Amino acid sequence: MARIVAMSQSRTVSQSSELLAYLFEAWPETKKKQVRSWLKFGSVAVNGRVITQFDHRLKPGDKVLIRPKAFAAPETALPSGIRFRHEDADIIVIEKPAGLLSIASPSEPEKTVYVFLTEHVRQGNKLGRQRVWIVHRLDRETSGLMVLAKNEQAKRVLQDNWDAVEKKYFAVVEGFPPEKAGLFDSHLDESNPLKVYSAPENSETRHALTRYRVMKKGNATTLVELTLETGRRHQIRVQLADAGCPIVGDKKYGAQTNPIKRIALHAHSLRLIHPITGEEMRFESPLPGDLGRLV
């Protein structure tokens, strides 16, 4: 639990340094674990802007401030299981649990990331005008990192540049991919709202590229890391199924097993440019225990 610190806890940088190293030096009386929690939960501001990247470069004259806990991102999960990784005036980065929709569906209008995060930014005021904007979606049974915008400008900039965002996933698949590493290159027909298909290139298809590498092999399953070069609906799921190794639990695309009662897919890494400040931001979410046990 991050301790409350006074607004006067600020320092002026005298020589170039990475932020985490500077924090260790400037607050030697504070345990390193505590300092890292300041960064993680948004309590560190440089020149008035919240910074969470440990390797952010400081230059002489920069003002580093440790902000009160009340200004930091929440340290605990919401009742929905959503965990906060970063929040500032423009964006929120969360870890979405499996089983939670990104946006409403006819069968579930309320229990969604959008609804829970809108309630969060309104701070309990149901008549408040604050809201969040969905930048991208994760399937209901997919867990992991997700970015939301807190204003239309941030949403527009993020979506206009979404292909440039580095997005990596972990998947546990049935069987084994064709090689230890490679590239899935196909064309996907997304016209069916329920299921995506690979098809010969035509006016209805969209080009899909996914890089993959094998991380660990089990007896009948494989842990694979996938990097999206394009962002098509169900892209990873379709391409892994086409390769003969569907994701564990993904019955729609041919999986025969479902030991953890969900699709074994996790959004584990994001690298993006902040839509307003231009700062590079990187987030990682470890492999969930239920996926790890599969291999």
Model confidence pLDDT, tens digit, residues 131-173: 999 999 999 999 999 999 999 999 999 999 999 999 999 999 9
Provide the pLDDT confidence category of residue 68 given band limits of 50, 70 and 90: low
For residue 140, the model assigns a pLDDT of 93
Provide the pLDDT confidence category of residue 8 given band limits of 50, 70 and 90: very low
State yes or no: pLDDT of 269 exceeds 70.
yes
Provide the pLDDT confidence category of residue 35 given band limits of 50, 70 and 90: confident
For residues 72-86, give the mean pLDDT: 72
Which two tokens mark 81?
Answer: 């299981």
- Residue 35 vs residues 44, 168, 289: alpha-carbon distances, Å: 9, 27, 27
- Helix, strand, coil percent content, the chain, rounded in steps of 5: 20, 35, 50
For residues 74-103, give the mean pLDDT: 84
- Catalytic residue, from 88, 139, 163, 242: name it: 139
Q: Are strands 197-198 and 205-217 parallel, antiparallel or unpaired?
A: unpaired
Across 38-42, 148-152, 178-182, 251-255, least confident range: 38-42
Who has greater pLDDT, 47 or 103?
Answer: 103
State yes or no: pLDDT of 213 exceeds 60.
yes
Percent of the chain scoring above 90 in pLDDT: 66
For residues 231-249, give the mean pLDDT: 97
The verdict on whether 139 is a catalytic residue reads yes
Q: Are strands 17-18 and 83-87 parallel, antiparallel or unpaired?
A: unpaired
Long-range CB pairs of 200-208, under 8 A, 24+ apart, other chains included: 206/230, 206/232, 208/184, 208/232, 208/235, 208/238, 208/239
The angle at the Cα of 174, spanning 245 to 188, to the nearest 5 degrees, equals 30
For residue 235, the model assigns a pLDDT of 96
State yes or no: pLDDT of 5 exceeds 50.
no
Provide the pLDDT confidence category of residue 69 given band limits of 50, 70 and 90: low
**How many angstroms separate the CA atoms of 200 and 112, rounded?**
36
Half-sphere exposure of 197 (CA within 13 A, CB side): 9
Are the C-beta atoms of 9 and 65 separated by less than 8 Å? yes
For residue 70, the model assigns a pLDDT of 42
The number of beta carbons lying within 10 Å of the beta carbon of residue 287 is 18
For residue 125, the model assigns a pLDDT of 75
State yes or no: pLDDT of 273 exceeds 60.
yes
**φ/ψ (deg, to 5) at 221:** -135, 165
State yes or no: pLDDT of 107 exceeds 60.
yes
- Residue 49 vs residues 71, 148, 284: alpha-carbon distances, Å: 12, 19, 21
For residues 188-195, give the mean pLDDT: 93
Strand 44-46's sheet: what is its strand order?
10-12, 63-66, 44-46, 49-50
For residue 137, the model assigns a pLDDT of 94
The number of beta carbons lying within 10 Å of the beta carbon of residue 42 is 23
Among 15, 25, 24, 27, smallest CA distance to 61 is for: 15
Largest interatomic CA distance in the chain: 64
**How many angstroms separate the CA atoms of 137 and 159, rounded?**
12
For residue 2, the model assigns a pLDDT of 33
Provide the pLDDT confidence category of residue 1 given band limits of 50, 70 and 90: very low
State yes or no: pLDDT of 86 exceeds 60.
yes
**φ/ψ (deg, to 5) at 206:** -130, 140
For residue 65, the model assigns a pLDDT of 86
Bin 28: left if φ > 0, else alpha if -120 < ψ < 50, else beta: alpha
Which two tokens mark 68?
Answer: 């009160």
Are the C-beta atoms of 167 and 270 separated by less than 8 Å? yes
Provide the pLDDT confidence category of residue 198 given band limits of 50, 70 and 90: very high
Mean pLDDT, rounded, of the chain: 88
For residue 53, the model assigns a pLDDT of 82
